[in-house]
Amino acid sequence: MFKLKMKNKNRLGFTLIELLLVMSIMSILTIVTVSTFTTSQKKARDVKRKADLSSISKALNMYYNDYGKYPNGGSNEPNIDSLIQTGNEFSQDGNLYMKEIPVEKTNGVTRYAYFSSSTGKSFRLWTNLENENDKDCLTSSVDSYTKTTPAGCLYSVYSSNISVGSTLL
């Protein structure tokens, strides 16, 4: 009569369905991991930018203590390069205020900007952050300088004698 063959329960490979299932699970996990990693990288770069502006602000305040005014900086398009005296350091008359001014360029555009008032009594530092959900983002209605980068949100550090939205002294 009919002989039924028994399936071999000691098989050596995987079925096509099993392979497709494992590959789809791995691809979903990869997508989630990469998107989380990218967001973390943006946040880390933004933290560095904020720390850089804080360091530059401290150096500017030391300069102010010595000379009674902030260094001239800025024009129609303020740029952090106006602070650099020799190489990449910020110094004046033998006084070293910052060994190396942090300069970040993305796509050839400088991300940090510096502007001082005509009297030298106040300053502003700007950068754009990549994370638009950052709690420190300013809206364009508060501060109109947005030429540092084409994307992101505006972050600014001011001299202690002015506040957000006020004019330079």
CA distance 54 to 27: 41
| pTM exceeds 0.75 | no
Domains in the chain, please, with CATH? 48-158 (3.30.700)
Give the span between the Cα atoms of 54 and 156, in whole angstroms. Answer: 10
DSSP code, position 86: B
How far apart (Å, rounded) are the C-alpha atoms in residues 107 and 116? 26
Calculate the alpha carbon distances from 163 to 1, 6, 97, 123 in Å.
97, 83, 24, 11
Angle at 83 between CA 72 and CA 80, to 5 degrees: 105
121-143 pLDDT, tens digit each: 888 888 888 888 788 877 654 44
Q: What is the pLDDT of residues 48-75, one digit of tens each?
A: 989 999 999 999 999 999 989 988 875 5
What integer pLDDT is reported at residue 138 of this predicted model? 73
For residue 71, the Cα-to-chain-centroid distance in whole angstroms is 24
